C-alpha cells in the first residue's frame, strides 16, 4: 500500500507526510499551493485562518473550501513564491 503525500501548513511552516523535502521542492505547483496557505495565515492570522478553514470545510467540504480554491488557483502563479523563504 502506497502512502499518499500530504502537506499541511501551520503558520509559517509546511509539514510533510509521505514526501521528502526534495520531492516537495521539485513540485513547483505544490510549493505554490502551500505558499498560498502561508500567505493566507499571514493575512488572517493563525486563529483567523484556522477558523475560516474549518468553517469552510464544514460547510463546503475540502474541494470547495474557498481557501483551497484560492490555493489551487495559485499553483499557476509564479509570483506567489515572492517573499517566501525556504530554509
Per-chain mean pLDDT for the chain: 94
Write out pLDDT tens, residues 8-27.
999 999 999 999 999 999 99
pTM (predicted TM-score) = 0.92
Residue 19 is classified by DSSP as S
pLDDT of 1 above 80: no
Contacts of 84 (CB under 8 A, 6+ apart): 35, 38, 39
Work out the pLDDT band at 86, boundaries 50, 70, 90: confident
Please give the distance of CA 25 from its chain centroid, rounded to a whole number. 13
Amino acid at each position: 500500500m502506497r502512502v499518499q503525500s500530504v502537506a499541511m501548513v501551520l503558520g509559517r511552516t509546511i509539514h510533510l507526510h509521505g514526501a521528502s523535502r526534495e520531492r516537495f521542492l521539485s513540485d513547483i505547483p505544490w510549493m505554490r499551493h502551500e505558499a498560498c496557505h502561508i500567505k493566507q495565515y499571514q493575512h488572517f492570522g493563525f486563529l483567523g485562518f484556522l477558523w475560516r478553514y474549518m468553517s469552510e470545510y464544514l460547510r463546503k467540504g475540502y474541494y470547495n473550501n474557498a481557501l483551497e480554491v484560492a490555493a489551487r488557483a495559485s499553483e499557476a502563479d509564479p509570483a506567489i513564491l515572492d517573499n517566501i523563504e525556504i530554509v
